[in-house]
Structures are given as C-alpha cells and as structure tokens.
Structure 1
C-alpha cells in the first residue's frame, strides 16, 4: 500500500497492535477536545464581561450555529468513513479525490446554508424569542459568523481527512492553535487595544474568523503540500459518485447530531417543572457530563478510522476486536470516573451551587446519571462504528431509538412516578436499554458482513 509522507510516524491501522494504536491516536484527540472546549469558554467569558444583553445575544445564536456545525460534523463523519475505507482497500488515488470532493461539497453546502441564514436573521431569531433589544447585537455577531463560517468548516473537514489516514496528532495541534489565536484576539478586539478600537460582540466574531482563517491556511498546506492527500484525479470514479458516497453517510450523521439538542430541550422542560434551581443544577450537570465523557468523545473520532480502514481491508476480526476491546475499556474507565465523582460530589456541588436547593440537585445528578456514562459510551461508539462500516441509517435509527424510544420516555415516566429522582434514574435506565440494543445490533451486523465476505471468497 502506498502511504503519505509521514509513514514513519503515522500508525499502521491495518497491522499495528490494536490497543497501543488506539491509545496513540486517542491521547492527542483528548488534547484537541479540551482545546475546543476552551475555545468556547474563552468566548463566553470575555463576552460576559460586556454585560447581560451581549451574553444573551450570543446565547440565542447557539441553536443556529449548532445547525451549521452539525452539518459539518456529519460531512466530516462521511468524509472520514469513505477515505479510511479507500485507504484500507489500497486505493490512495480514490481517497485523495474523495477528500477533495468532500471539501468542495462542504464549502458549497455551508455557503448556501449560511447565505440563507444571513438573509433570515431577523425572522429566525425573533422566532427563537429574541427581543428588539438584543437583535442588533445578534446582527453584529451573526453577520460576521455567517460570512466566515466556511473558514470554520474547512478545517473541520480537513481534520477528518487527516484522522482517516490515522493522523490524530496534527488535527489536535490545529485545533489547539486556533483556540490559542482566538484567546489572544478576543480581548484585543472586544475591548480594544492601542489603535484597535473596542468592537464589542462584533470583535468576538472577528476573533473567531481570524482563528479559523489561519487554521484554513495551515490545513490546506498540510493536505496539499506536506501530506499530499488532495487530488482532482478521479482515479476511475466520477465526482457525482464521490458526492453520493460522502452524503450517503454525512447527511444521516448530521441528522443524528441535530436530534440531540431537541432531546435536551425536552429534558430541560421536564426539569423546569421542579423550579429554576433544578434547571440551574441540571445545567451544571451537563457541564460535568461533557468533561467526564471527554474520553468517549475522543474515541468516537479515533475508533471509526481504525474500523473503516480494516473494513476496507476485509479484516472484520480486527474490527470486532477493536470494538469490543474499546467498549470494555470505556465501561471500566467511566465506572472509575463515577467513583471519583461520588467522592467529590460535595465539593463539586458547593463549587457550582450557591443555594442549598441547587447543591442538593447537583448531588442527586452526580449520584444517578454518571453511573450510566459507560453505557452512554457504548451507544456513542456503536453509533460512530456503524458510520465507519458505511451503515449510516443504522446509526441514525440507533439515535432515534436512544432518544425517543428509551431516554425521553423513561425520563418522562420516572418524572411522573418519582419526580426529579425518577427523571434522572429513568434517563440512566434509558442508556442501559439502548446500550444493550446497540451492542447486540452491531455484533449482528458484523456477523452478517463476515458471512457475506465468506460467501464471496467461496465463489
């Protein structure tokens, strides 16, 4: 198999030992995830110093920006799955062409979506409940965000191409570098410095676009010059065929991502029945969850390229070993995290809660839902593994089953029977039943693919 220029440092996903390889790929991704979180935290911190209205304005933008980012994440999943399978099948020219088409498709789709969003800012945010006092601030932020969104999407897709080749260190460095640039530019452009005027909330958007733009230059240099992973030589396929392959996985993956905020909105509404203290505590719990589950999120980006390459090489035994071994590790790891959260529940609750009612609900959250984080990891990794096997509809259906068959109904029933305690326990039970379905379904899918492979070999 022909390889890219960093062949001495890039993991061989087809032959290297499974556990050390996944570890080597995942550790840099954890750094990248932390950097990405810090990117958002820095933005919110500096904007909060401007006052309540600017912070409220940016808060209104989250659902809209999440839609664009979800599209990019979905296309990134499709890109990674298609390219990794091509590399595993020893089709480097096809992988390069697919990577080029992925970037072009992402740019076109995001341009269309952002242009529509730019024209419809007033009706969209009025529908979301934004008042006339914050609409001008939303315009200041979103006008720039929409115009610069292509600069955000390009590095996301480019990083997916790099991960598909087994390189997770470079994407992490790119994300970390962008976060650092944003952190430096934010206070300068928001509050002004020397000859640079204070631009307020507009400065936050410009800082993000500057960071993204520099990331675009770096990622294109890496893909075109250093690693030579982009090419417009079709290699026996057509542009339409490449687009179909990518969108077949990318669009369902984007749809699955968009389901999560819908479900969280419903859960928040249920929690709100128990008062503002419960909502505040649940918000803290969600932040704890994002930190406690960071390993799962990192693995959801490193396991799929491994699976896709071995799938392309018809090495399904190695796929199964990677999948089951990762799930066992995640279950043990997340249980250890749960024990730590229990030990420090009191301190965490008092750190984030100022009122006793809030502190009590944070403790309740920590005692119940984090126990199911390992099961949640099984669901997330099974979902990403389905995409890696080019089974995007399985992944989408699994997301629907998780959220609307188990998670939300169990939480609602628990809330009706036992209040807030029942709601949290119901959500945890929803993760349990979904994890069982996810694991059995994925193993069955592997068995089906293996039988098909055996039949093809015998003919």
Structure 2
C-alpha cells in the first residue's frame, strides 16, 4: 500500500497545480513525469516489434529499420496540426479562455482526420517506390513494403491518438494520455508474438475446435500496432467528447473552418517542416547506411531505438516546457517561461549525461537484448551496434539542451525557429558529415555525424534562445471570433 501511494504521488493532474504561478520545478516535474511514462509506452511499441522481429529473422529486423523512418516521415508531415492545436490550447488555457480552447481542440481534431487520411493513401501507394529509392535490398524490400502498407491503412488511428495526447497536454493533463497509452501498449505486447510467429491450440473437446493465430511475420507486428492504436484513439475521443477530463471537443465546432485552418497552418507548418526535416534526415541517412551490409542496417535500427529510450526524459521535459511556455505566454508571464526553460536545460543535461556514461560503458548487453542468439550474424550485429552507441552516448546531454530550448520556442508559437534549428542540425551538420566520412571511415563516419550534430545543435539552440526572439506570442493572432449564439447552442459558455 505504501509503494502504491508513493507511485501515485508522482502523478498529479492539472487541477492540483498551477503552471502560471508558484514554484517552477514542481509543476514542471508533475507535468513531465507522466509524459516520460507515456513516451516510454510509445517507445514500447517500437521496442516490442524490434525484439520479436529480431527473434524472427535478421531480414525482418533490417526491414523495420527502413520502415520506421517512413512511418516517422508520414506522421511528421501532419504533425504540425497537433503541435498547433497543443500550442493554441495551452495559450488559451493560460489566458483563462476555455471556450476558445475547446474550439481550437475541435478544429484540430477535424483537420487531423482529413490530413491523416490523405497521408495514409499517399503512403500506401508510394511505399514500394519510396523504400526502393532508399536502397533496401531485394530480401528486405518486400518485407518493409508489407509492413508499411498495413501501417499506412492504419495511419488515421495512429496519428489521431497522437493528436489526443497533444491536445490534452496543451490543457495541462498528461496523466489521462498516459493511462490510455498503458492499456494500448499492454494489448500490443500481448498480441505481437502471436501474430508474428503464429500460434495454434487444439482443444480436446469437439465443440471447442481449434484456436489459432496465423503466422504473419512482419505484417503481424504492423497489425498489432494499428489495432492497439485504434482502441486507444476510440477511448481518447470518448474522453474528449465527455469533457470531464482535460480539454473538451464538440461536434458543432468540428465543421471545417478554413479561416481557422490558416491559423493552424501558420503555427503548425514550421513544426511539420521540423518533423519532416528530422524524418528526411533519417531516410537520407538510410541511403548511406544501405550501402553497407544488412548487419549494419540492423545495427543502425537497434541503435536508433536505444537512443529513443535514452531521450525519453528529453522529449518529455521538452513537451512540458512547451506547455508551460504556452500557458505562461497566454498569461503574459514570459519571465516565468524562461526560468522553466533554463531549469529544464540544466536538468536534462545532467540526467542524459549520466545515462550516456552508462550506455558508453555497457553497450553490448543493451544491443544484445534485441538480437536473437540463434540468428545468423548475431554477434556481428551486436558488435556494430555497440560501436554506434559508444560514438554517440557521451553527447546525450547536449541533445537534452537542444530539446529544452526548441520546446520553449514551440510553446511560444515560434515554431519556425524550432524548425530552423532542427534543419540546421540535421541537414547542414549531420547528413553532410555522414556523407563525406562514410567513405574513408566506413560506418563509423555515420556514427560520428550523430555525435557532432548533437553538440552543434545544443550550441545553436542556446545561442538563438539568448536573443530573446521567442518572447512574441501568437495568442492574439490566433483568437477565434465565436458568436454568442454558437456558444450558447453548444452549452459550453
């Protein structure tokens, strides 16, 4: 009972703290802690696929190394909608304008549905061509294609849940998405191995018959992910329509408002550019990685997933900073937003540096968890993956610094600045270094590009933040003129 109360004391809802007054560290902690857990659950989807497919075959493991960046690209193309919605909900909530926040959330949901359907169709029909351009081998290409076709069909469910998480976070509720994500991950982990490997149970009783899951291989992993995300989305929509937790949405407010779409685009387009830049960087790097044997491709896929776990605190705190900055800018308290950002940057640098030291000292056991010992070339994949981690681990702290500052830029509505920092770090630093050094240094040149870009990105973000250009707010420009009749009709005035 004492352990349970201690665990629950780490999580507090928005009704238990104020992001715009009082201490800074405590509300930032309670806001970020559930995001850490939520991101951990989010990563569990990818790690579960990586683990089970690693047991299935090396080709399947290499296939998701190609598929994952494409998933990221499709989501990144539409992520500006969710970022814009989160920023507007945060700023309107900070300004105590609940009705405006509800309208922003409702419009965000509607346009997110439209965008995700379009991207899903594009992904389904373009996946084979796209993966072929990346250089997937003849053994890997059909596997990656089948995986991505299933993911593309289910993209509205996957993207829709991310929008739910973003809107609730903008309101200040990070606990509800965490709980919904937990249920979704449990379902995914349970059904993943059954659909990948297949499973048959023949009962003795003649009326029971045979219970079976067909062996679907890499397609089974994709189906498990889409199914569990769809359940999570339905739960999330039910919560937002009821409105008793977090921000509320209303059907009447979902009639597409083109003038509001322009506001979402103005704020969200740079965020989509930022995310797309990251995704393109991952895909362009894959072109370089594909020059090497499949063992290097598999090690690259494992390494990037290990990094995704290490960066969970950075991603979570950055989202917390985004919300705190948004609400404090809405409340006209930029100095408080700046203090929160500086605190987050220092804490993340310390935590991620410690995590990097641990990863640097023990990379082999970490990588080996995702490689089946009975698979061909398993030892080689472990050695290459360990080398990747050793090159990058000691720069983890610098990635935390960059994430803290770009999160504050987004919360202030300065999404173009965050996008510029990302493009400079990935497109001007990481990719060119990898391209130039991969020849003389082999795959080590790719690993080196990660380390250098992490340090340079932190320096750029810090220097840009010190200029103070983030202090402008898009709240006034994004305010919606809702007539009183419409407000009274929805019963939410």
Is the 8 Å Cα contact of residues 120 and 154 (structure 2) preserved in structure 1? no
Q: 2:296 and 2:51 mapped to 1: Cα distance?
A: 23
Q: Which residue of 1 aligns with 2:228?
A: 211
1:150 is the counterpart of 2:168? no
1:328 is the counterpart of 2:334? no
1:75 is the counterpart of 2:98? no
Is the 8 Å Cα contact of residues 97 and 233 (structure 1) preserved in structure 2? no
Please state how far the C-alpha of 1:9 moved relative to its aligned partner.
3.9
Root-mean-square deviation over aligned CA pairs? 3.8
> How high is the TM-score relative to the length of structure 2?
0.77
Is the 8 Å Cα contact of residues 46 and 305 (structure 2) preserved in structure 1? no
Q: Which residue of 2 aligns with 1:293?
A: 311
Counterparts in 2 of 1:197 and 1:295: CA distance versus 1, 3 Å: closer
Q: 1:341 aligns with which of 359, 367, 371?
A: 359
Please state how far the C-alpha of 1:11 moved relative to its aligned partner.
3.1
Counterparts in 2 of 1:318 and 1:423: CA distance versus 1, 3 Å: same
Q: 2:451 and 2:338 mapped to 1: Cα distance?
A: 26
Deviations 1:358-404 (A, max 9, x none): 77766655554322222222222222221111112111111121123
Counterparts in 2 of 1:434 and 1:162: CA distance versus 1, 3 Å: same
1:178 is the counterpart of 2:197? no
Q: Which residue of 1 aligns with 2:117?
A: 111
Please state how far the C-alpha of 1:413 moved relative to its aligned partner.
6.3
1:42 is the counterpart of 2:48? yes
Please state how far the C-alpha of 1:356 moved relative to its aligned partner.
8.5
The alignment partner of 1:314 has SS state of coil
Structure 1 unmatched runs, 5+: 1-5, 454-459
Q: 1:92 aligns with which of 92, 98, 105?
A: 98
Counterparts in 2 of 1:344 and 1:386: CA distance versus 1, 3 Å: same
Q: 1:231 aligns with which of 226, 250, 254?
A: 250
Q: 2:329 and 2:451 mapped to 1: Cα distance?
A: 32
Please state how far the C-alpha of 1:445 moved relative to its aligned partner.
2.6
Q: 2:447 and 2:133 mapped to 1: Cα distance?
A: 31
Is the 8 Å Cα contact of residues 272 and 279 (structure 1) preserved in structure 2? yes
Q: 2:165 aligns with which of 159, 162, 168?
A: 159
Q: 2:448 and 2:125 mapped to 1: Cα distance?
A: 44
1:383 is the counterpart of 2:384? no
The alignment partner of 2:413 has SS state of coil
Correspondence list, 1:247-266, <5 A:
247-266=265-284
The alignment partner of 1:95 has SS state of helix
Q: 2:130 and 2:115 mapped to 1: Cα distance?
A: 19
> How high is the TM-score relative to the length of structure 1?
0.82
Q: 1:177 and 1:287 mapped to 2: Cα distance?
A: 22
Q: 2:123 and 2:292 mapped to 1: Cα distance?
A: 35
Please state how far the C-alpha of 1:71 moved relative to its aligned partner.
3.1
Please state how far the C-alpha of 1:101 moved relative to its aligned partner.
0.6
Q: 1:282 and 1:147 mapped to 2: Cα distance?
A: 26
Deviations 1:257-316 (A, max 9, x none): 122243345556667788777666555543432222221111122210111000111100
Counterparts in 2 of 1:196 and 1:386: CA distance versus 1, 3 Å: same
Counterparts in 2 of 1:364 and 1:198: CA distance versus 1, 3 Å: closer
**Paired residues, number:** 445
Correspondence list, 1:279-318, <5 A:
282-318=300-336
The alignment partner of 1:440 has SS state of helix
The 10-residue stretch of structure 1 (334-343 or 173-182) with the greater mean CA deviation from structure 2: 334-343
Counterparts in 2 of 1:199 and 1:10: CA distance versus 1, 3 Å: farther
Is the 8 Å Cα contact of residues 74 and 253 (structure 1) preserved in structure 2? yes
Q: Which residue of 2 aligns with 1:14?
A: 20
Counterparts in 2 of 1:232 and 1:269: CA distance versus 1, 3 Å: closer
The alignment partner of 2:332 has SS state of coil
Q: 2:214 aligns with which of 166, 190, 198?
A: 198
Counterparts in 2 of 1:180 and 1:289: CA distance versus 1, 3 Å: same
The 10-residue stretch of structure 1 (92-101 or 295-304) with the greater mean CA deviation from structure 2: 295-304
Counterparts in 2 of 1:221 and 1:131: CA distance versus 1, 3 Å: same
Q: 1:352 and 1:142 mapped to 2: Cα distance?
A: 21
Q: 1:145 and 1:430 mapped to 2: Cα distance?
A: 30
Is the 8 Å Cα contact of residues 65 and 297 (structure 2) preserved in structure 1? no
Is the 8 Å Cα contact of residues 406 and 431 (structure 1) preserved in structure 2? no
Q: 2:134 and 2:285 mapped to 1: Cα distance?
A: 18
Q: 2:425 aligns with which of 402, 408, 422?
A: 402
Q: 2:447 and 2:127 mapped to 1: Cα distance?
A: 36
Deviations 1:204-263 (A, max 9, x none): 44333321222122111211112351135669x992332222222222212211222433
